[in-house]
Amino acid sequence: MRKPGKTLAPAPFDADEVRRLAEGLKALDGALLPILHAINDRFGHVDERAVPIVADVLNLTRAEVHGVLTFYHDFRRAPAPRHVVRLCRAEACQAMGADALHAELEKACRGGPVLVEAVYCLGNCALSPAALIDGKLYGRLDVAKVLELART
Ligand code: FES
């Protein structure tokens, strides 16, 4: 069973480590979920390359493991972004250029470590355009300032 507080920092994919985690938990009832949680916790996501290893250890088909992996939203299937920018798209921020800012940020951040999401009013309308960057509220933003804050 998954133990809170036992999570290590995400690590690069390691097939031997995946097999070791799976072998260590395979005796549990319903071992697939604890194994997928352990892999998700260890690597920050469940890489597609882990599926055949887990299937082999549990004597399941790849399709069975893949089915469980994709059914539950708890499991990330790609590395988590290192920074999250939640940019306000509500009226006051729109009036101050949030739509253009959002488009520029999406272009600048595509495929990188910064995820840009839309939110609707952060209660910081007087300092629009506003955003939460890694959970901290900022205002009067432009692209350069957002990228600087998200990379620090
Ligand atoms: S409309 Fe953007 S913070 Fe309120």
Is the Cβ atom of 125 under 6 angstroms away from ligand 1? yes
Is the Cβ atom of 132 under 6 angstroms away from ligand 1? no
Average pLDDT of the residues in 44-71: 96
Is the Cβ atom of 108 under 6 angstroms away from ligand 1? no
Q: What are phi and psi of 48, to 5 degrees?
A: -55, -30
Helices 32-43 and 15-25 meet at what angle, rounded to 10?
Answer: 140
The 10s digit of each residue's pLDDT in 95-150 is 999 999 999 998 888 777 888 999 999 999 999 999 999 999 999 999 999 989 88
The 10s digit of each residue's pLDDT in 74-104 is 898 888 778 889 999 999 999 999 999 999 9
Question: Starting at the edge strand that comes first in sequence, how are the strands of the sheet with 83-88 ordered?
Answer: 114-119, 83-88, 131-133, 136-138
* Ordered domains of the chain (ranges, CATH): 15-71 (no CATH), 83-151 (3.40.30.10)
**% helix, strand, coil for the chain, step of 5:** 45, 10, 40
Q: Which atom of ligand 1 is nearest to the CA of 93?
A: 2
Model-level pTM? Answer: 0.59
25 pLDDT band (50/70/90 cuts)?
very high
Tokens 């488009």 correspond to what residue?
Answer: 103
- Ligand 1: residue of 85, 89, 93, 132 to mutate (most ligand atoms within 8 A of CB) is 93
Q: How far is the CA of 144 from the centre of ligand 1 (A)?
A: 20
